[in-house]
Structure 1
């Protein structure tokens, strides 16, 4: 059965899931959604005894209905065979009275790997025998960039261009990107914030002259950000997987509700949980954890989204975001699919920097979503206490989520904290939070000291960066981003 998608801002034109994945962003600037999600049949009980790969096949087949079972099975096998260092892909461990969903066992040590090992496979199938080449253009606040580069490197018929805010990612995140090998990759720092960079990417997608010139050369643009439905859907699987693990370990019985606490900036990771809930997974609350850039906390609490605030550079850079793109999908679903209403909110956000939802929409959102935030000082305190009390190292993003989760009184419902990155990606900040002096030490010296302190080995894919050559040194102003993409297309698709 085909699954049709359309823009959050208009339902006038529909596309298949394959077409939505290839396009990435709807032509009107909206995000692709499907109205069929509430009618989709996915019995979570049937997944309880399945491994991660088999669960992924069921979830992807449900949400991407125009892919055949054989195509999905092939994609899953390629994405989740030997790229992860744990057979469970996303193992579940105990942390205090709660559970930790470890999403950092992939090739780039961050949760983005779960989706960005899958997206290239889905996109390759969607391309089929097309003569068109696809240039992936994506903005990153730190982790998406490397995961996209790793996933798409040397994929036939595809190129990948990654923009990151120069000076606003961690040292290790920066090296992961600029040391990336591959004949079809391009990396560029941007003088500005992540929000500036993300806006620049959206403008590239909506630039008719640029897209027309590329079309003449049989090149199409697509995205690897979570604005691409093919990036978002694979993340739904791990909500089902952790639920099955809790049943297996007799922490819950099938049918019991579970709470999830998710560190998020662009709202994609937590929106995957929302889709899992719409597919009837027994989820009670989704707790949105923000850092000091707490625009999402304010929105969920008040119903007013306001990006007109100072940008704060924090030790959890993947969450340093003031415009959370995926929130648009939630607005569509919680307004009962009122595309005109969503379009008006997005126009107001663009023109005036804020919007406020109706009371009914706010109340509907608050039935599912709770929110809280942690600044750097509290985040560091949580890193230190978690190591001292639990013997566990957590990265700053996970610490933000644990801080927020710990601030909410447990009432007997099992709770899962999503751990989105390896602590070794942020060695200096984690080491500093543990009370160690990092002055004058580079990221690798901090990594070595952190590994010794914790009695752990740093992930090989991170420690090996110390001797890797830096291959990508471009840094451009915002207005040069379109030219960089066009030049990258010329180099890659000769």
Structure 2
């Protein structure tokens, strides 16, 4: 049974946790204990079967038949590589490429599966409105996953001017009868805070009834659980390539903002994957990496716009789940720390808790100048293009140089950020992202992912710009229209 990070008395099934997304006390849903998987067995099967085994451990009340059906539908021809998340070794770097899905970013792994899991959990008369705050990639992946899914609607909010032009175009051209998109004045944290507030707004929920609110961000366990799978997939591919032996520990470098991607890796370790360290890489918005070094989480600092906009985040929601696990399920302590963050913008963990976290995690940050230089260096040396988020991880991984094999999570296609990548790799500035795509494709003999290539020809369907305070009214009107 699942519980809340802030109230250990709460108990509910994984289906209930997935449907509601967010605990009524403001906490996140967690599974208090993990059952170890048979490592050799899970390394002997392809991605889809690995997914079934992982999900059975994390979402047990769905049942094997339901999970198998959902996995089969989620991971097939919609991914351009049969491995789903292939490991590509370039020089001495092992890139776990997570961008071969329909929106060319790692969020597809969770958001191709979440809608299918949600459908399985819904009763015949249930109606659910999904809310998604996005710093760039979650928005389109959620829209694509939930588009025209029966009994659901989805409303996505992104910071105006805070995502790349291609990311914005992906969202605003979305079709479907049950989708809506709005830019908000402010940054990602403003959007995420407003979504969390709506999920705990009892007056809004009464107004929407019988429609339920849920969430597509990684605070939803149904978004997080599928991401655990690709850590096992990466390990299996390294074993098959002869790079490591079964049981050998590896490091994973994870570019992060909201801490969901790297937390999924921690879940994989709890399920039995041999991991040495998780290298947590942040950009100049370095609240998380600074916390890992000092034990102080402080978001009372200037918000910076960087070349890696999906990581321009100051409130890292999933870190709360790690605090729960590393404090041995001390929900009272977690609630106290989160209240301090809400009241003062900061908290400090006890020394023993910090030591427990540092046993598994080490952090580092990369400035934009370092990111651009890394993109250029790898392109020049190997003809391999990194997107700026992957390059953040590369910079930190190179600087820390931990012993043992290390896998770098490549979180998005370089063609999602073509202007940044073209300027870094080729030294040329392009005002038009589609022109930059074509230049990169020609210079490096790579095919532009089809969903990105066709964006230029799609009409803009969503034009809304809201203040955060207008979001509840916007959501209520949308729910009335589509549900």
Settle same-fold status: TM greater than 0.5. yes
Cα distance in structure 2, aligned partners of 1:88 and 1:19: 31
Give the match for residue 201 of structure 1. 195
Q: Secondary structure at the match of 1:58?
A: helix
Residue 49 of structure 1: how far off its partner (Å): 1.8
Q: Which ranges in structure 1 are unaligned for 5 or more consecutive residues?
A: none
Q: CA deviation at 1:435?
A: 3.8
1:422 has 2:413 as partner? yes
Q: Deviations over 1:411-448 (max 9, x none)?
A: 2x111000000000000000011243225x31111111
Question: Which secondary structure state, in structure 2, belongs to the residue aligned with residue 66 of structure 1?
Answer: helix
Output the CA distance in 1 between the equivalents of 2:165 and 2:77.
Answer: 27
Say whether 1:95 aligns with 2:90.
Answer: yes
> 1:46 corresponds to which residue?
41
Aligned to 1:295: 287
Deviant stretches of 4+, over 4 Å:
none
In structure 2, the residue corresponding to 1:407 is in which secondary structure?
helix
1:462 to 445, 448, 452: 452
Does 2:267 align with 1:283? no
Residue 36 (structure 1) shift: 2.3
Give 1:55's aligned residue. Answer: 50
> What is the DSSP-based 3-state SS (H/G/I as helix, E as strand, rest coil) of the residue aligned with 1:159?
strand
Asked if 1:344 corresponds to 2:344, the answer is no
- Does the alignment pair 1:330 with 2:325? no
Report the Cα distance in structure 2 between the residues aligned to 1:195 and 1:33, rounded to whole angstroms: 22
Residue 23 of structure 2 corresponds to residue 22 of structure 1: no
Paired residue for 1:261, among 253, 260, 269? 253
C-alpha displacement at 1:13, in angstroms? 1.7
2:435 aligned with 1:445: yes
Partner of 1:153: 147
Which residue of 2 is the match for residue 357 of structure 1?
A: 349
Post-superposition shift, 1:284?
Answer: 0.5
1:35 equivalent in alignment to 2:32: yes
1:490 to partner: Cα distance: 1.1
TM-score, normalisation: structure 1: 0.97
- CA drift of 1:137 comes to 0.4
DSSP-derived class of the 2:400 partner: coil
Greater CA deviation, 402-411 or 201-210?
Answer: 402-411
Matched residue of 2:417: which SS? helix
Aligned to 1:315: 307
Cα shift readout 1:4-26 (whole Å, capped 9, x = no counterpart): 11110001121100000000000
TM-score (norm 2): 0.99
Determine the structure 1 residue equivalent to 2:109.
Answer: 114
RMSD after superposition: 0.8
The size of the alignment, in residue pairs, is: 483
| Distance in 2, Cα, partners of 1:95 & 1:457 | 18
| 1:179-230 CA-partner distances (Å, limit 9, x unpaired) | 0010000100000000011001000101110001112xx2000000000000
Q: Report Cα offsets for 1:111-131 as digits up to 9, x if no partner.
A: 0000000000110001143x1
SS in 2 for 1:286: strand
Q: 1:184 aligned to 2:178?
A: yes
Aligned match of 1:479: 469
Native 8 Å contact 2:181 2:464 kept in 1: yes
Q: Please state how far the C-alpha of 1:45 moved relative to its aligned partner.
A: 1.2
SS at match of 1:329: helix
CA distance in 1, matches of 2:206, 2:402: 55
Of the candidates 118, 131, 135, which is equivalent to residue 141 of structure 1?
Answer: 135
Q: For each residue in 1:288-328, what CA deviation from the matched residue of structure 2 results, as whole angstroms up to 9, or x when unmatched? A: 00001011111000000000000000010000000000000
Once the two structures are superposed, what CA deviation does each residue of 1:431-486 show, in whole Å capped at 9, x if it has no partner? 011243225x3111111111111111211100101010000000000100101111
Give the Cα–Cα distance (whole angstroms) in 1 for the partners of residues 243 and 390 of structure 2. Answer: 22
Name the CA distance, whole Å, in 2 between partners of 1:477 and 1:327.
Answer: 27
CA distance in 2, matches of 1:454, 1:488: 44
Q: Distance in 1 between matches of 2:36 and 2:289?
A: 32
Q: 2: distance between equivalents of 1:362 and 1:436? A: 42
Q: Which residue of 2 aligns with 1:219?
A: 211
**Alignment-derived partner of residue 436 in structure 1:** 427
Counterpart position of 2:361: 369
Question: Which residue is 1:8 aligned to?
Answer: 5
The SS at the match of 2:85 is: coil
> Which residue does the alignment assign to 1:489?
479
Partners of 2:36 and 2:270 within 8 A in 1? no
- Name structure 2 gaps, 5 residues minimum: none
1:78 has 2:67 as partner: no
> 1:410: Cα distance to partner?
4.1
Encode CA deviations 1:236-256: one digit per residue, 9 max, x unaligned.
Answer: 000011111111111111110
Query: In structure 1, the residue corresponding to 2:130 is in which secondary structure?
Result: strand
C-alpha distance in 1 between matches for 2:123 and 2:381: 52
Which among 385, 392, 397 is matched to residue 389 of structure 2? 397
In the other structure, the counterpart of 1:382 is: 374
